[in-house]
Amino acid sequence: MFPTKGERDSHFRGQCQPVISLTSLEGSIKRVERMDGKFTCPSCHTKYSRSDRLKSHWKKCKTNNETESNPHYLIN
């Protein structure tokens, strides 16, 4: 039990959320699973323990690393 919805959501993002769904620029869906307690950016391979931190990072990373040999994904 959590005293507030915000605390419950924070706990879920930081410890319980097993997967983040991503959509490629082409429209296909990719799943990024939490491995060893962390989510890995599909572009630069930086690791984050919270899904919201990866989402924040992704806004910058997807524009900095755009190349044909490195497929990018947008977070849903």
Cβ neighbours of 48 (radius 10 Å): 18
Give the global pTM. 0.66
Write out the residue range of the structural domain in which residue 17 sits: 5-75
- What does the angle CA 55 – CA 4 – CA 51 come to, to the nearest 5 degrees? 15
Which of 2-6, 22-26, 44-48, 64-68 is the least confident region? Answer: 64-68
- Taking the C-alpha atoms of residue 72 and residue 66, their distance in angstroms, rounded to an integer, is 7
Domain count across the chain: 1
The pLDDT score that the predictor gives to residue 68 is 39
